Amino acid sequence: MEDPLIIAGYAIKNRFFLGTGKFASYPLMRDAIIASRAHIVTVALRRVDTQSPHDNILEYISKECIIMANTSGARNADEAIRIARIARAAGCGNWIKIEVIPDNKYLLPDNAQTIRATEVLAREGFIVMPYVNPDLADARRLCDAGAASIMPLGAPIGTNKGVCMRELIKILVQEISLPIVVDAGIGRPSHAAEAMELGAAAVLVNTAVATAQNPVLTAQAFSLAVKAGRIAYRAGVVSPKDKAEASSPLTGFLR
């Protein structure tokens, strides 16, 4: 495979990762996964409603996909560790997105607690994908803690604001050798392309796909944008300049 994305030794077939929350139905989610050809999809763990029988989300996700459980609902490292262990016991493998969120208003992650959870879970053999504020010192701590990638937020979860953390993410891309996966806040395919042009290894989107008018087409658009952005990054696209520069030769005019 040309330009493969390797995470924890696994070749990931698509740099577009899809979250499965907020879809109007599981069949719609399944169709969006198929349309995007996402290889990594995230799921959450919740209490079963014991009053009514439930549909099993895993039946709607292709066996080809890597299912990465998140630790949403965790407010500290211990809760994240507990959720990760339960998720693994549920039989979905070792991939875990650590999400420690003590703040309900902006849903911003707690980096210190995330680092602590990463240390413990990496030691237990999990492939740990921590969702964090883009901070260079913390990203280095996560590398030391055994993270498999760093997943900085582009903007707060569900805001669709795009790569607001652009400059900080750029620094992570330059300084951190682990794959940088921009997670959260990506609202449009153009945002996803922008993140990839910056050198992100992948992009994780959920809300913008699940709540679009046509989630299936949107998933496809995101997947294509991620590919285009990646190719642009590899191609070394040009930087903006303040002064105009003619595209046509400035010699040999007819006059």
CA distance 187 to 195: 12
Q: Please report, as residue ranges, which positions from 165 to 194 form the binding site for other proteins (by CB under 8 A).
A: 184
Of 6-14, 173-181, 203-211, 242-250, the segment contacting other proteins by CB under 8 A is 203-211
Phi, psi of 147 (to 5 degrees): -65, 150
- Look at residues 173, 178, 149 and name the one whose alpha carbon lies nearest to residue 163: 173
Annotated active-site residue 97? The verdict is yes
92 binds other proteins (CB under 8 A): yes
The least CB distance from residue 45 to other proteins, in Å, is 5
The catalytic position among 13, 22, 63, 97 is 97
Q: Is 80 in the site for other proteins (CB under 8 A)?
A: no
User: Nearest distance from residue 207's CB to other proteins, in Å?
Assistant: 7
Buried b (16+ CB within 10 A) or exposed e, 84-99: beebbeeebebbbbbb
> With contact defined as beta carbons under 8 Å apart, do 205 and 19 qualify?
yes
Token pair listed for 67: 């299912």
The answer to whether the CB of 202 falls within 8 A of the CB of 192 is no
Sign, CA dihedral 39-45-46-48, equals: positive
46 forms part of the interface with other proteins (CB under 8 A): yes
Q: Which residue has the tokens 């407010």?
A: 75
Q: Does 42 bind other proteins (CB under 8 A)?
A: yes
**Residue 244 beta carbon to other proteins: minimum distance, rounded to whole angstroms:** 43
Q: Which of 8, 33, 39, 70 binds other proteins (CB under 8 A)?
A: 70
Which residues, 112 to 131, sit near other proteins by CB under 8 A?
Answer: none
Catalytic site positions? 97
Contact residues for other proteins (CB under 8 A)?
A: 19-23, 26, 29, 42-48, 50, 53-54, 56-58, 67, 69-70, 72, 85-87, 89-90, 92, 157, 184, 204, 206-207, 210
